[in-house]
Amino acid sequence: MTPPSLTPAGLRCAHQVDPLGVAPDRVRLSWRLKGTGTGRAQRAYQVLVTPEEPDASAAWDSGRVETAVTAGIACAGTPLTAAGRYSWKVRVWDETGTASGWSEPARFEVELDRTSGWHASWIGPSRVRESVTPPSGAGPVDPVARGLTPAPYLRRAFTVGQPVTSARLYVTALGLYEARLNGRRVGDGFLTPGWTDYTRRVAYQTYDVTGLLNQGDNVLGAIVAHGWYAGFYGFDPKRAGAHYGTAPELLAQLVLRLADGSEQRIVTDGQWESSTGAILHADLLMGERHDLALEPSGWDLPGFDTRDWRLVQVRERDATALVADPGPPIRVTEEIAPRSIATDDHDRHIVDFGQNLTGWLRIKVDGAPGTRVRIRHGEVLAADGSLYTDNLRTARQTDEFTISGGIEVLEPRFTLHGFRYAEITGYPGDIGQAEITARVVHSDTPAAGSFESSLPWLDQLFRNIDWGQRGNFISVPTDCPQRDERLGWLGDAQVFACTACYNRDVAAFFAKWLDDVTDAQLPSGAFTDVAPRLTLTGAGAPAWGDAGVIVPWTVWKMYGDTAVLDRHFGAMTRWMDFLERANPDYLRARELGNSYNDWLAPGDDDTPHELLATAYWAHDAALMAEIADATGRPGDAAGYRALRSKIRSAFTDAFVAADGQVTSGTQTAYVLGLHMNLVPEDLRAAAGERLVAAIRAADWHLTTGFAGVGYLLPVLSTTGHTAAAYRLLEQGTMPSWRYMVEAGATTIWERWDGWTAERGFQSPWMNSFNHYSLGSVGEWLYRFLLGIDQEPGTAGFGQLLLRPHPGGSPDWARGSYRSVRGTISVGWKRDRGRFTYWAELPPNVTATVCIPSSHAAEVRNTVGNPPASLATFPGAQDAQEAVFQVGSGAHEFSGPSISNPGCP
Q: Which residues are catalytic?
A: 485, 750
State the binding string over 174-213 for ligand BGC (x if CB under 6 A, else -): ----------------------------------------
In the complex, least distance from residue 823 CB atom to ligand BGC, rounded to whole angstroms: 32
Helices (H) and strands (E) in the chain — how many of each? 15, 48
- Polymer length of the chain: 904
Contact 207, 252 (CB under 8 A): no
Q: From CA 21, how far away is CA 576, in angstroms rounded?
A: 33
Contact 715, 691 (CB under 8 A): yes
Tell me the CA distances in angstroms from 13 to 35, 57, 167, 201, one per residue in order: 22, 20, 21, 22
3-state secondary structure of 468: helix
Q: From CA 769, how far away is CA 725, in angstroms rounded?
A: 24
Tell me the CA distances in angstroms from 386 to 287, 288, 347, 358, 396, one per residue in order: 20, 22, 12, 20, 16
Q: From CA 137, how far away is CA 792, in angstroms rounded?
A: 64
Candidates 85-93, 448-456, 479-487, 585-593 — which segment interacts with ligand BGC by CB under 6 A? Answer: 479-487
User: Of 304, 287, 311, which is closest to residue 136 (Cα–Cα)?
Assistant: 287
Q: From CA 509, how far away is CA 515, in angstroms rounded?
A: 10
Among residues 89 and 442, whose Cβ is nearest to ligand BGC? Answer: 442
Contact 549, 213 (CB under 8 A): no
Q: From CA 582, how far away is CA 575, in angstroms rounded?
A: 11
**Strand pairing category for 846-853 and 799-802:** parallel
Measure the CA angle with vertex 879, ends 878 and 885; round to 5°: 145
Other CB atoms within 10 Å distance of the CB of residue 210: 13
Among residues 492 and 881, whose Cβ is nearest to ligand BGC? Answer: 492
In the complex, least distance from residue 599 CB atom to ligand BGC, rounded to whole angstroms: 4
In the complex, least distance from residue 479 CB atom to ligand BGC, rounded to whole angstroms: 3
In the complex, least distance from residue 772 CB atom to ligand BGC, rounded to whole angstroms: 9
In the complex, least distance from residue 492 CB atom to ligand BGC, rounded to whole angstroms: 5
Contact 114, 321 (CB under 8 A): yes
Q: From CA 428, how far away is CA 842, in angstroms rounded?
A: 55
Among residues 355 and 391, whose Cβ is nearest to ligand BGC? Answer: 391
Among residues 594 and 664, whose Cβ is nearest to ligand BGC? Answer: 594
Query: Could you give phi then psi for residue 492, rounded to 5 degrees?
Result: -60, -45
Position 491 contacts ligand BGC (CB under 6 A): yes
Among residues 207 and 749, whose Cβ is nearest to ligand BGC? Answer: 749
Among residues 510 and 556, whose Cβ is nearest to ligand BGC? Answer: 510
Among residues 325 and 479, whose Cβ is nearest to ligand BGC? Answer: 479
In the complex, least distance from residue 568 CB atom to ligand BGC, rounded to whole angstroms: 21
Tell me the CA distances in angstroms from 277 to 107, 284, 297, 703, one per residue in order: 38, 19, 9, 53
Q: From CA 835, how far away is CA 832, in angstroms rounded?
A: 8
Contact 543, 612 (CB under 8 A): yes
In the complex, least distance from residue 525 CB atom to ligand BGC, rounded to whole angstroms: 21
Among residues 755 and 828, whose Cβ is nearest to ligand BGC? Answer: 755
Among residues 598 and 626, whose Cβ is nearest to ligand BGC? Answer: 598
Candidates 223-231, 489-497, 643-651, 862-870 — which segment interacts with ligand BGC by CB under 6 A? Answer: 489-497
In the complex, least distance from residue 709 CB atom to ligand BGC, rounded to whole angstroms: 12
**Strand pairing category for 73-74 and 65-66:** unpaired
Tell me the site size for ligand BGC, rule CB under 6 A. Answer: 9
In the complex, least distance from residue 865 CB atom to ligand BGC, rounded to whole angstroms: 50
User: Of 885, 602, 629, which is closest to residue 736 (Cα–Cα)?
Assistant: 602
Position 479 contacts ligand BGC (CB under 6 A): yes
In the complex, least distance from residue 604 CB atom to ligand BGC, rounded to whole angstroms: 16
Among residues 332 and 543, whose Cβ is nearest to ligand BGC? Answer: 543
Candidates 251-259, 452-460, 485-493, 735-743 — which segment interacts with ligand BGC by CB under 6 A? Answer: 485-493
Candidates 486-494, 621-629, 631-639, 776-784 — which segment interacts with ligand BGC by CB under 6 A? Answer: 486-494
DSSP string, 257-283: EETTS-EEEEESSTT-EEEE-SEEEEE
In the complex, least distance from residue 716 CB atom to ligand BGC, rounded to whole angstroms: 24
Q: From CA 147, how far away is CA 625, in angstroms rounded?
A: 49
Of 599, 617, 655, 739, which lies in the binding site for ligand BGC, with binding defined by CB under 6 A? 599
Residues 743-772 that bind ligand BGC (CB under 6 A): 771
Contact 775, 793 (CB under 8 A): no
Among residues 540 and 808, whose Cβ is nearest to ligand BGC? Answer: 540
Q: Which residues contact 339 (CB under 8 A, 6 or more apart)?
A: 352, 353, 354
What spatial distance separates the first Cα and last Cα of the chain, rounded to whole Å? 51
Contact 445, 504 (CB under 8 A): yes
Q: From CA 397, how far away is CA 392, in angstroms rounded?
A: 8
Candidates 181-189, 266-274, 488-496, 516-524 — which segment interacts with ligand BGC by CB under 6 A? Answer: 488-496
Residues 558-597 that bind ligand BGC (CB under 6 A): 596
Position 489 contacts ligand BGC (CB under 6 A): yes
Among residues 175 and 491, whose Cβ is nearest to ligand BGC? Answer: 491
In the complex, least distance from residue 775 CB atom to ligand BGC, rounded to whole angstroms: 12
Residues 768-797 that bind ligand BGC (CB under 6 A): 771
In the complex, least distance from residue 849 CB atom to ligand BGC, rounded to whole angstroms: 38
Position 492 contacts ligand BGC (CB under 6 A): yes
Q: From CA 820, how far away is CA 823, in angstroms rounded?
A: 8
3-state secondary structure of 449: strand
Among residues 108 and 596, whose Cβ is nearest to ligand BGC? Answer: 596
List interacting residues with ligand BGC (CB under 6 A): 479-480, 485, 489, 491-492, 596, 599, 771
